[in-house]
Homo-oligomer: A and B are copies of this chain.
């Protein structure tokens, strides 16, 4: 069973999509199974991270921005803006797909785990598209 989630974004950062994914899983009414998320973009990615202290997300973003800098003289793909090639690299270093088992009708997320869409572009205004596949069994 597949469904498409539209995730509105307003620039670089982590967007918590846990509730949206959980709602889809519950409406699927699968007792045991596997939920797989796939993001249909190459300048945003998927992440499971701590959902407790917002400082974790700030530090993650700042650390990755320092590792993958803008205006790196190494880049030859520059015509789509200074944040585009960094976004592709960040996407390559993080996840395009994530699979989470379903038990007793719920995702088996750990207590401190949230599901995030990680937007890597500054001026992304179109919603990002994520496809959710749910397998029973």
Query: Which residues of A are at the interface with B, using a C-beta cutoff of 8 A?
Result: 1-2, 32-34, 36, 38, 40-42, 47-50, 53, 55-56, 58-60, 62-64, 66-68, 72, 74-77, 79, 85, 88-89, 91-103, 108-110, 112-113, 129, 131-133, 135-137
Closest A-B pairs by Cβ, 10 of them = A40-B110, A101-B133, A55-B77, A97-B99, A55-B76, A42-B50, A48-B96, A101-B131, A34-B133, A36-B99
Within the assembled complex, what's the spacing in Å between the Cα atoms of A101 and B37? 8
- Indicate how many identical chains form the complex: 3
- The answer to whether A100 and B38 touch (CB under 8 A), given A94-B92, A133-B33, is yes
Please state if B74 and A66 are interface contacts (CB–CB under 8 Å): yes
